[in-house]
Structure 1
Amino acid sequence: MTPPDAEANRWSDLDRPPLNAAALRRALVRPDSLWTSLDVVRETGSTNSDLTALTARAARPGSLPEGAVLVAEAQHAARGRLDRRWSAPARSGLFVSVLLTPGDERRGAVPVDRWGWIPLLAGVAVATALSRAAGVDTALKWPNDLLVTVDGEERKAGGILAERAGDGSVVLGIGLNVSLTADELPVPGAGSLLLAGARTTDRDPLLRAVLRSLEQWYGDWRAAGGDPVASGLQETYAAGCATLGRRVRALLPGEREVSGEAVALDGDGRLVIATDEGGLQSVGAGDIVHLRPAESG
């Protein structure tokens, strides 16, 4: 990891100034907060990999407390689902990972079979934060994509990756394109908050909003023992999910495919598809393709 730029260089790029780590810590790391530490590095391969490694190197379980936050100004080996790579220009997005310990018995462990809701919870938290802080409606593509509308078209602007990091721990990573221009997009069909008409692309208030929203949703979910109904998570995710009600193709492990209409989320956060063969199938892992009407036949 490369240390962050000195604060003297904060305004070296007026369009994309570096994050102010000290100000972020003052705002977010408090005695009554979920967030216990916050570090910003100038560049790294993957914040998820770095935070997972720090957790593994901890001298004893729990010595790296829940709520550790690691943010990078640039990533060159970020990973998404299915080990896909994610890259963007420096200071053009939010690249952040946090350590959560839903299995901590001291706080009342959430059953492991409910941990599949964590990336969905993060999607709800990010979408809620962006609506408030940036004025951008963010839809959720099951299970972990963040969609914005650019020129009337749905575009992926971010993604979420949750990984086990030892007994009781999860490292949750969020990547979000903030100020990327059309020429900087990594792939056709990508988007950014800038292109979606965000009222701000200042990453400091955006990151504060995301982490505060995540703290609230995670706290409510934990307080409900991970119950997605009691915490309001299942209803809220379904309301913001662009996948539900759409015809989809699910690319499943083992090179299998299922096509049909996405009709619901089950109690484990799996996508329920009414298949073209007339049955119902719950999908817990795989790639989901939103089909256009011309592709439905």
Structure 2
Amino acid sequence: MTPQPPENQDKDHGGGAGGRWSDLDRPPLNGAALRRALLRSGSLWTALDVVPSTGSTNTDLAARAAEGLAEGAVLVAEEQSAGRGRLDRRWSAPPRSGLFFSFYLAPRVPPERWGWLPLLAGVATASAVARTAGVDTALKWPNDLLVTIGDEERKAGGILAERAGDGVVIGIGLNVTLRAGELPVPGAGSLALAGAKVTDRDPVLRAVLRSVEDWYGQWTAADGDAAACRLQDAYAAGCATLGRSVRAELPGDRALLGEAVAIDGDGRLVLATKEGMQRPVAAGDIVHVRPAAEA
């Protein structure tokens, strides 16, 4: 669907089934307040629309980018019916139970460094969630946000970056108030289940977008050099994959087994194999990265 202009956003859809106030534990986002807080002079963010429902915010924003779109446009949906992750995996959740949003960036840095953008979004999201919601977070390379529930790491969020127009659309899905009985798979989690001190989605979304803006500003100022702006160090520090024995499943029924020892300058995961070789693998080449014990 095509996003409505701001004046048609954020309508009260009534108190019936599926209406705006149908679940008082999950109040709607305040689009007008978000725009006032984020769309300021000199900000990266140039437009922010909130829609009640859509298939995929990434798909919608990519379509707009193909027609010409200013950098910094943000699209947020209260519900997604066809949200996507890497390898076209589906992402779904009850209305207003999470944050489902995409933004458009057109970095003026060498295109070969654009592969850092989903990792940048991961660092920004993890740090903002930890700071705002008080939940310890970790990153599973290349695009998952993990929280700990009990003694188990679970996926609470994911990131998808796609080329669109002259730039990149980055989508983020984050489970906020998902309850145990609503989890799509046993390995899923949410901020609430991880003991978040804040589950109001407005401040969490503001914090994530401000964190993205800060990291993006540093990265572009360094001409996309992730080492120079310390993005590479920050990602490595928060990456739960490093230091573990993993099995990287590759296209063509191939697999690579080794210890994840580093994130290299191109954002690739470096595996140390039992043969004593160090092999970098890129996100685009990976089908799955699993702990070796699960292989």
TM-score bracket for this pair, using the shorter chain length: over 0.9
Q: 1:184 aligns with which of 182, 185, 195?
A: 182
Q: Which residue of 1 aligns with 2:67?
A: 57
Q: Which residue of 1 aligns with 2:46?
A: 36
- Contact 2:10 2:30 (8 Å CA) reproduced: no
Supply the AA of the counterpart residue of 1:170.
Answer: V
Q: Distance in 2 between matches of 1:70 and 1:260?
A: 39
- Counterpart residue number, 1:263: 261
Q: Please name the residue that 2:197 is paired with.
A: 199
- Aligned-partner residue type, residue 227 of structure 1: D
1:129 equivalent to 2:128? Answer yes
Unaligned runs of 5+ in 1: 59-63, 103-108
> Deviating runs (4+, > 2 A) in structure 1?
1-5, 7-13
**Structure 1 counterpart of 2:292:** 291
Measure, in 1, the Cα distance between the counterparts of 2:56 and 2:75: 10
Q: Displacement of 1:241 after TM fit?
A: 0.2
1:208 and 2:217 equivalent? no
**What is the identity, as a one-letter code, of the residue corresponding to 2:172?**
I
Question: Secondary structure in 2 aligned to 1:195?
Answer: coil
Confirm or deny: 8 A CA contact 1:7 1:20 kept in the other structure.
Answer: no
The one of 152, 171, 174 equivalent to 1:173 is 171
- Residues 107-147 of structure 1 deviation map (CA, whole Å, 9 limit, x = unaligned): xx201111110000000000110011000111000000000
In the other structure, the counterpart of 1:157 is 156
CA distance in 2, matches of 1:54, 1:122: 21
Q: Does 1:22 align with 2:20?
A: no
Superposed displacement of residue 276, structure 1: 2.7
Deviation at 1:12, TM superposition (A): 4.6
Percentage of matched positions with identical amino acids? 70
TM-score by length of 1: 0.92
Deviation of residue 200 (structure 1)? Answer: 1.1
Q: Indicate whether 1:94 and 2:99 are aligned.
A: yes
Provide the aligned C-alpha RMSD in A: 1.4
Q: Supply the distance in 1 between the matched residues of 2:40 and 2:190 (Cα, whole angstroms).
A: 31
Partners of 1:123 and 1:144 within 8 A in 2:
yes
State how far apart, in whole Å, the 1-side matches of 2:113 and 2:67 are.
26
Q: Secondary structure at the match of 1:65?
A: coil
Distance apart, 1:290 and its partner CA: 2.1
Q: CA deviation at 1:8?
A: 7.7
Matched, 1:68 2:73: yes
Measured against aligned partners, the alpha-carbon deviations of 1:195-217 in whole angstroms (never above 9, x if no partner) come to: 00000111000000000000000
Could you tell which deviates more after superposition, 213-222 or 281-290? 281-290
Once the two structures are superposed, what CA deviation does each residue of 1:217-260 show, in whole Å capped at 9, x if it has no partner?
00100000000011110000000000000010101122210011
Structure 2: unaligned runs, 5 residues or longer: 15-19
